[in-house]
């Protein structure tokens, strides 16, 4: 085969690793399928180009936390899973049953919408939806990064 190594989707559904993958998972996850342990996205990429992680203001930690999103004026809540978190925001995986089924609840995850993210074990954080694509969404927290670190001690990494 020409044109370089073949790329495969990683067997870990939350993996965003962009390096070469093979049929048994990404090169960083060999033997870890189904594990919550993942590679460190904070390492600079080779070749002199900055990865998306390197351009971010805050370092992120991978987590798998059950949570809900609520917005003023919308009846109900959106169930989701927080898949990564930083002092500045979080990436969410939305409940797949919601997508395309309930327009009122889906409006909660419209970019620009102000929401409250409630994490079952750690309380609530005010946030703004900054992007939404399919069953994924990104939030920007509306409180000071030091306050975010205090709400999630030992999880949110220092910058």
Instruction: Give the model confidence (pLDDT) of 103-157 as tens digits.
Output: 667 678 889 999 999 998 788 999 999 999 988 999 999 999 999 999 988 888 7
pLDDT tens digits, 35-92: 333 333 443 434 444 454 444 566 788 999 999 999 888 887 889 999 999 999 999 9
Token pair 């910058």 is found at 159
56: CB partners within 8 A, 6+ apart:
86, 88
Report if pTM > 0.75: no
Fold of 60-151: Thrombin, subunit H (2.40.10)
Question: For residues 58 and 146, what is the distance between their CA atoms, to the nearest angstrom?
Answer: 11
Domain residue limits, the chain: 60-151
* CA–CA gap between residue 38 and residue 117 (Å, rounded): 24
The C-alpha angle 159, 12, 119, rounded to 5 degrees, equals: 55
């Amino acid at each position: 085969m020409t044109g370089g190594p073949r790329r495969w989707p990683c067997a870990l559904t939350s993996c965003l690793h962009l390096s070469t993958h093979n049929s048994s998972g990404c090169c960083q996850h060999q033997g870890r399928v189904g594990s919550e342990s993942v590679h460190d996205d904070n390492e600079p990429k080779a070749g002199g180009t900055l990865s998306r992680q390197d351009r971010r203001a805050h370092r992120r930690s991978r987590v798998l936390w059950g949570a809900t999103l609520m917005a003023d004026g919308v009846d109900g809540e959106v169930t989701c899973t927080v898949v990564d978190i930083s002092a500045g925001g979080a990436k969410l995986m939305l409940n797949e049953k919601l997508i395309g089924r309930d327009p009122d609840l889906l409006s909660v995850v419209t970019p620009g919408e102000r929401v409250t993210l409630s994490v079952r074990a750690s309380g609530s954080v005010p946030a703004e939806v900054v992007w939404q694509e399919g069953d994924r969404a990104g939030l920007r927290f509306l409180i000071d990064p030091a306050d975010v670190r205090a709400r999630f001690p030992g999880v949110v990494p220092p910058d």
